[in-house]
Structure 1
């Protein structure tokens, strides 16, 4: 049953959230430096990347939850609960990323990067997966009624 449409949605959600590790989320300029925020943490342009381990682990965890949830197709109610938990985790990650940017002193300008849209895409894909799981549950219940 891995070939269901919600498996594709969960895979896309996993890919979208893991893309935060590769694509910058936002750029921020101050009087002295230009900062780039990505899944590894806040980097000063021209300096070495300082890795924020808790942020990195949270992003990888959110991606792995979606990926592992694909194989939980036998227990649809648990699959819905795990997907809902993952949405909450992605929202918490988005809030955390915004708090990292707000922590920069002397902020002048913000540059929106493509990575800003990946958490939103992951949430949308997860919601579509939940819808597909609910449709499967409805189909199985109607088939059980006919037996």
Structure 2
């Protein structure tokens, strides 16, 4: 299971979306207080959902098609989260209390990159198994 490269990529996604958002600042509000994922319930749920999908995909190593579908769903979830961050950061400053953006807003981009790499490795494995089955 862990000897495959997609398992390493999925493990990195679990760390990025499961642990880092709770330590890394998403943004600073108007008073200068740092906002992390625990302060925003919707963002917290999205990060936990992304981490849960990556854990399920990691544990479904025998079913590559399910792994691939879960990776795609996780990519869509991270794009929604990224779109939400972009929307919040581009709103008029009086409407949303974001005064300074933090590094936490880039975490969905890093997760998407690792998920795309994991999906490519999963498809490579699937194509290898299909080519071996043709020879039988």
Q: Same fold (TM over 0.5)?
A: yes
TM-score (norm 2): 0.83
**1:69 has 2:57 as partner:** yes
Kept in 2, the 8 Å contact 1:9–1:128? The answer is yes
How far off is 1:99 after superposition? 3.9
Aligned length, in residue pairs: 134
Q: Tell me how large the CA RMSD over aligned residues is.
A: 2.4
- Higher helix proportion, which one? 2
C-alpha distance in 2 between matches for 1:35 and 1:94: 22
Structure 1 length-normalised TM: 0.78
CA distance in 2, matches of 1:108, 1:121: 25
Report the counterpart of residue 12 of structure 1 in structure 2.
12
What is the 5 A alignment of 1:1-147?
A: 1-18=1-18, 19-29=20-30, 33-41=31-39, 52-101=40-89, 102=91, 105=94, 110-147=99-136
Contact 2:17 2:50 in 1 (8 A): yes
Structure number with larger C-alpha Rg: 1
Structure 1 residue ranges without an equivalent (≥5): 42-51
* Structure (1/2) with the larger strand percentage: 1
CA distance in 1, matches of 2:46, 2:64: 24
